[in-house]
């Protein structure tokens, strides 16, 4: 029996001398390869093919990972087995690779647990069995191949673009949490000096810029707030509030520390805006149909929750509908109560703008159309939301029909608005679209109805007989 061994240095072909090892257990095989002398008695090297460089090693290793036979492996086996007319069985560690070798070269291939143990022993003693290799060169080849293979996997990873979206939406959510804490702390801190300002300027970014521009409350009347985009009426209200403010006085040192926090809040808010634009551009490029249906933020959260766009495309519509509400789902299943109707898609504009009693139906319809849109994004090459435009119009019409009483007139009205031809009266009455009523088509239906009625009559007669029998049995017998 011949044993094929794949290493980082090349391919090795060894002949098994001790045939009893094929029936031995792992301990006996390990004992046979415990030292070079015992290894020489167990196997003998027949041929060895050394890789020329790391590029060749990478190509062959990539083929082996996919259970394919590389061109160098094919030449090596053909030269040393097929051309020499050797009829011995070839042992491989990979069963799928063995089937490929058998199919293309016609060589009998074997694969078992004992062969895996033998291959492990050969790799441990490769430097003693192959004279062309030394320990230092083998370790160097293994290290370079490992680095090249890792770079190849990262470079050609199909999910690397999705990673940018996942990281961006995660950072955006973290920024929102931190900004809420920082903005609240800034309002409370500066509120001791000018509490009325927080009610007048509600936006955190405008509040921070106004604070930085004004400084002390006493400088408010001489400050031009139009530089930061504050309207004139709000500016007048702010200056009037500064004159009658109930705040306490603060020192320059207090104001200095408030300014440091203000700079941090303003920088984070500006960075959050640029990050949101980056995320929007990425989502429009990678998943345009999903973005058109539910927006860039909800679409990115769905991709992040699923792990990648391809994983999200594998989910059915029912899973997409409750994605993000797993805890509520399992709690409902455990307590045997009502399961949730929506998860992350609850925040979509289509679901949010619908009435409370229709949110479950709209979320189901939206999830069904989203599932199709996601698959188009994941498997197609579209850069425009061509599919999502039709789907979104359908969901909007469905929502309008539900809110207007689910009438035929409402559905036709919304079909007319969407420029979609409605079914005409003739087409609705008959399948062929003609005005003529075909009586022959109802002949079989009439027979079925008659049979059904006769069966119902027979059932009623049997029930009457049973009632009479029961009443006669229940009556007392006369002596």
> Are the beta carbons of 369 and 348 closer than 8 angstroms?
no
> Are the beta carbons of 67 and 96 closer than 8 angstroms?
yes
Q: How many other CB atoms are there within 10 angstroms of residue 386's CB atom?
A: 13
Topology, domain 2-155: Nucleotidyltransferase; domain 5 (3.30.420)
Confidence (pLDDT) at 289: 92
| Distance (Å, whole) CA 214 – CA 231 | 16
Enter the tokens of residue 320.
């997409």
**pLDDT by position in tens, the chain (length 479):** 788 888 888 888 878 777 777 777 778 777 777 777 777 777 777 888 888 888 888 888 888 877 788 888 888 888 888 777 777 778 887 778 888 888 888 888 887 787 778 777 777 777 777 777 777 777 788 888 888 877 776 665 544 578 889 999 999 999 999 999 999 999 999 999 999 999 999 999 999 999 999 999 888 888 888 888 889 999 999 999 999 888 899 999 999 999 999 999 999 999 999 999 999 999 998 899 999 999 999 999 999 999 889 899 999 999 999 998 989 889 999 998 888 888 899 989 888 888 888 888 999 999 999 999 999 988 887 788 889 999 999 999 888 888 877 555 555 555 555 554 444 444 444 444 445 555 555 544 444 444 445 555 556 666 666 666 655 555 444 43
Confidence (pLDDT) at 258: 93
> Are the beta carbons of 179 and 269 closer than 8 angstroms?
yes
Q: Give the CA radius of gyration of the chain.
A: 39
Enter the tokens of residue 277.
């634009």
> Are the beta carbons of 49 and 43 closer than 8 angstroms?
no
Length of the chain: 479
CA 316 to chain centre: 12
Beta bridge partners of 91: 3, 110
- Distances in Å between the Cα of 129 and the Cα atoms of 7, 14, 114, 122 are 13, 9, 20, 8
> Are the beta carbons of 109 and 101 closer than 8 angstroms?
yes
| Distance (Å, whole) CA 465 – CA 274 | 84
Confidence (pLDDT) at 4: 81
CA 181 to chain centre: 31
Nearest to 131 by CA among 240, 256, 210, 40: 40
Confidence (pLDDT) at 291: 92
Q: What is the CATH number of domain 287-403?
A: 1.10.246.90
| Distance (Å, whole) CA 268 – CA 176 | 9
Topology, domain 163-279: Helix Hairpins (1.10.287)
> Are the beta carbons of 297 and 393 closer than 8 angstroms?
no
HEC per residue, the chain:
CEEEEECCCEEEEEEECCHHHHHCCHHHHHHHCCCHHHHHHHEEEEEEEECCCHHHHHHHHHHHHCCCCCHHHHHHHHHHHHCCCCCCCEECCCHHHHHHHHHHHCCCEECCHHHHHHHHHHHHCHHHHCCCCCHHHHHHHHHHHHHHHHHHHHHCCCCHHHHHHHHHHHHHHHHHHHHHHHHHHHHHHHHCCCCCHHHHCCCHHHHHHHHHHHCCHHHHHHCCHHHHCCCHHHHHHHHHHHHCCCCCCCCHHHHHHHHHHHHHHHHHHHHHHHHHHHHHHHHHHHCHHHHHHHCHHHHHHHHHHHCCHHHHHHCCHHHHHCCCCHHHHHHHHHHCCCCCCCCHHHHCHHHHCCCHHHHHHHHHHHHHHHHHHHHHHHHCCCCCCHHHHHHHHHHHHHHHHHHCCCCHHHHHHHHHHCCCCCCCHHHHHCCCCCCCCCCHHHHHHHHHHHHHHHHHHHHHHHHHHHHHHHHHHHCCCCC
Residues 309-347 have pLDDT tens digits of: 989 999 999 999 999 898 988 999 999 888 888 889 998
Domain spans in the chain, listed from the N-terminal domain onward: 2-155, 163-279, 287-403
Nearest to 109 by CA among 133, 131, 91: 91
Residues 215-226 have pLDDT tens digits of: 998 888 888 888
Q: How do 10-16 and 90-91 pair as beta strands?
A: unpaired
> Are the beta carbons of 182 and 264 closer than 8 angstroms?
yes
Confidence (pLDDT) at 127: 74
Q: Angle formed by the axes of helices 386-403 and 359-379, to 10°? A: 170
């Amino acid at each position: 029996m011949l044993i094929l061994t794949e290493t980082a240095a090349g391919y090795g072909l060894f002949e098994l001398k001790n045939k009893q090892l094929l029936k031995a257990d792992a301990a006996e095989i390990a004992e046979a390869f415990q030292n070079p002398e015992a290894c020489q008695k167990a196997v003998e090297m027949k041929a060895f093919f050394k890789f020329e460089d790391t590029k060749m090693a990478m190509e062959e290793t990539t083929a082996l990972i996919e259970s394919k036979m590389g061109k160098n492996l094919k030449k090596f086996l053909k030269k040393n087995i097929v051309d020499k007319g050797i009829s011995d069985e070839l042992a491989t560690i990979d069963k799928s690779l063995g089937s490929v070798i058998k199919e293309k070269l016609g060589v009998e291939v074997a694969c078992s647990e004992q062969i895996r143990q033998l291959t492990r022993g050969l790799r441990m003693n490769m430097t003693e069995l192959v004279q062309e290799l030394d320990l230092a060169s083998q370790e160097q080849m293994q290290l370079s191949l490992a680095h090249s293979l890792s770079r190849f996997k990262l470079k050609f990873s199909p999910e690397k673009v999705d990673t940018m979206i996942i990281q961006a939406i995660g950072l955006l959510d973290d920024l929102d949490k931190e900004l809420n804490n920082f903005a609240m702390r800034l309002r409370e801190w500066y509120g001791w000096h000018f509490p009325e300002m927080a009610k007048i300027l509600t936006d955190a970014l405008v509040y921070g810029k106004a604070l930085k521009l004004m400084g002390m409350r006493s400088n408010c009347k001489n400050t031009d707030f139009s530089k930061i985009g504050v309207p004139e009426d709000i500016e007048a209200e702010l200056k009037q509030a500064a004159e009658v403010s109930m705040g306490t006085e603060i020192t320059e040192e207090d104001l200095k520390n408030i300014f440091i926090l203000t700079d941090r809040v303003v920088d984070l808010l500006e960075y959050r805006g640029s990050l949101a634009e980056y995320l929007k551009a990425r989502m429009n490029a990678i998943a345009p149909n999903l973005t058109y249906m539910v927006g860039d933020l909800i679409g990115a959260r769905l991709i992040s929750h699923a792990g990648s766009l391809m994983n999200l495309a594998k989910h059915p519509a029912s899973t997409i509908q409750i994605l993000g509400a797993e805890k509520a789902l399992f709690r409902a299943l455990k307590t045997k109560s009502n399961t949730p109707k929506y998860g992350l898609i609850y925040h979509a504009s289509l679901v949010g703008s619908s009435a409370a009693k229709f949110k479950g139906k709209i979320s189901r319809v939206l999830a069904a159309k989203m599932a199709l849109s996601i698959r188009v994004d994941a498997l197609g090459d579209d850069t425009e939301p061509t599919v999502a435009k039709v789907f979104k119009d359908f969901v909007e019409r469905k929502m309008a029909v539900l809110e207007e009483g689910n009438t035929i007139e409402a559905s036709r009205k919304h079909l007319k608005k969407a420029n979609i031809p409605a079914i005409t009266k003739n087409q609705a009455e008959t399948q062929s679209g003609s005005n003529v009523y075909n009586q022959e088509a109802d002949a079989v239906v009439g027979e079925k109805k008659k049979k059904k009625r006769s069966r119902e009559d027979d059932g009623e007669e049997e029930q009457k007989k049973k009632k009479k029998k029961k009443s006669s049995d229940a009556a007392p017998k006369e002596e």
